[in-house]
Amino acid sequence: MHIEVDGHGVYCYTNSRAIDASKPSIVFIHGSGMDHTVWTLASRHFARHGNNVVSVDLPGHGRSDGPPLTSIEAMAAWVIAVIDTLTIDQVALVGHSLGSLVALECAATQPHRIRAIALVGTTSPMPVSDAILDAAEADDHAAFDMLTQWGFSKRHQFGGNRNSGIWMIGNTLRLYERSKPGVLFHDMRACNEYTAGVAQAAKVRCPTLLILGAEDRLTPVRGTRALQEAIPAPDVKVLPGAGHTIMVEAPNAMLDALHSVL
């Protein structure tokens, strides 16, 4: 589905279905340098289970036009503008990494619009190393290499995709490689500079699910303590054997966990 927000074209994957006002709606938000395709399995699954699904390409990502947004707050305001354009009153949000911070900010600032959030591969604060930021700013392929290597658990460096013939690491690397120049840098800097996450988490009043990879090296479970303590009564699922790229490392376990809040 193609719509227009703030004068720019926006692409939303909806499983080729129109929005049905009688159904609950779920918005999926991808991580840094990615696009809507990381949520294809989950989007199709929940569409088949009676939901409107809207998997967005953030500005400058995938098939969406316009410059990349430079802060989590701006991205959250943009997501609200998307659901306004689609004339959806209330949604659940599912976000991965960068997208999880966007979902958190939406829930804190627009509580009447957000009925539930699922934060996948998340933490707050979400610091980014200088090495990654410098490489991303220079459009150096090393940024893609580092994020791809650290984004998977060690066991999945050697394969293990349940989908025959698809190499998890190679697929993720190609997603980074097809991103527009500067997009990854703006995304990673937005994560690094978002310092309000814990304070905003304390304002969340909707059901909240955290899906964490037990072997996540980018947002390790031990680093989520402040976030878990700030959110009122979060449901926390730690998936054994999974790293940061949970959507492909543990897709079925992730879907099972998502059903608990969606």
Predicted confidence at residue 154, as pLDDT, reads 83
Instruction: Write the pLDDT tens digit of every residue in 69-110.
Output: 999 999 999 999 999 999 999 999 999 999 999 999 999 999
Predicted confidence at residue 83, as pLDDT, reads 97
Predicted confidence at residue 143, as pLDDT, reads 97
Backbone angles phi, psi at 170, to 5 degrees: -60, -40
Backbone angles phi, psi at 116, to 5 degrees: -165, 155
Backbone angles phi, psi at 28, to 5 degrees: -105, 135
How many whole angstroms separate alpha carbon 258 and alpha carbon 51?
A: 13
CA 68 to chain centre: 15
| CATH of residue 247 | 3.40.50.1820
- Per-residue pLDDT in tens (0 to 9) along the chain, 262 residues: 999 999 999 999 999 999 999 999 999 999 999 999 999 999 999 999 999 999 999 999 999 999 999 999 999 999 999 999 999 999 999 999 999 999 999 999 999 999 999 999 999 999 999 999 999 999 999 999 999 999 999 877 776 666 655 667 888 999 999 999 999 999 999 999 999 999 999 999 999 999 999 999 999 999 999 999 999 999 999 999 999 999 999 999 999 999 999 9
Are β-strands 208-213 and 2-5 bridged in parallel, bridged antiparallel, or unpaired?
unpaired
Predicted confidence at residue 165, as pLDDT, reads 54
- Tokens 């539930």 correspond to 116
237, containing H or E segment:
strand 235-239
Q: What is the pTM of this model?
A: 0.96
Predicted confidence at residue 252, as pLDDT, reads 94
Distances, alpha carbon 208 to alpha carbons 35, 70, 94, 203, 259, in Å: 23, 25, 10, 12, 12
Number of domains composing the chain: 1
Three-state secondary structure call for residue 222: helix
Predicted confidence at residue 257, as pLDDT, reads 98
Three-state secondary structure call for residue 129: coil
76, containing H or E segment:
helix 72-85
Query: What domain range includes position 240?
Result: 2-259
